[in-house]
Amino acid sequence: MATGGRGPRRLRGEVLSAVLQGLMVLGLLGGSFTLCRQYVLQSICVQGASMVPTLRERHWYLASPLWLRWQGIQRGDIVVLRDPTDQTPVVKRVIAVEGDTVELRGGRVFLNGRLLEEPYLPEGTRTDPIQRRWARVTCGPGEVYVLGDNRGVSADSREYGPVRSEAVLGRVLW
């Protein structure tokens, strides 16, 4: 019986080698996907109306943790963060960073003593404090002050104060 130089052991060895190579490729692909998702790009579905009209409710967006490592957290960034009350991911706009003073008075936001221009808000939007103690605050080391763009329905730093920078998971990309 001619086997063309392939005995049963050699054939089994080739099959085993092919299976191991396939498993190694799948492992590398899975690891690459996980690393990319953890550190480069994450998808986020906006739950709730706190960022309307800037971001639409129940729409998917991409967020980048890597962008934050390159650029740091900047005023005006739209970020995904862990909500301090229940640790769920939420999307908010960074209003102030470490060392900035935010004051809410007369339905407006003042940043470091100057009226904050907010062209992304609908005309006539008021920004009133939810918790009086957060109506005037200076962000300490490693803190940011965040607000939703739909101030009437947003739970944000007006309710729970500044958040730790470590709670920020990524910057939303357009």
**Domain limits, the chain:** 7-39, 44-173
**pTM, full prediction:** 0.76
CA 144 to chain centre: 14
Question: Which residues are CB-neighbours of 74 under 8 A, at least 6 positions away?
Answer: 94, 97
Tens of pLDDT, residues 66-100: 777 778 999 999 999 999 999 998 999 999 999 99
Tens of pLDDT, residues 92-139: 999 999 999 999 999 999 999 999 999 999 889 999 999 999 999 999
Name the DSSP class of 84.
T
Q: Are 146 and 93 in contact (CB under 8 A)?
A: yes
CA 19 to chain centre: 39
Name the DSSP class of 91.
E
For the record, the structure tokens of 166 come out as 């470590």
Q: Of how many residues is the chain composed?
A: 174
- Fold type of domain 44-173: Umud Fragment, subunit A (2.10.109)
The pLDDT value given to residue 57: 86
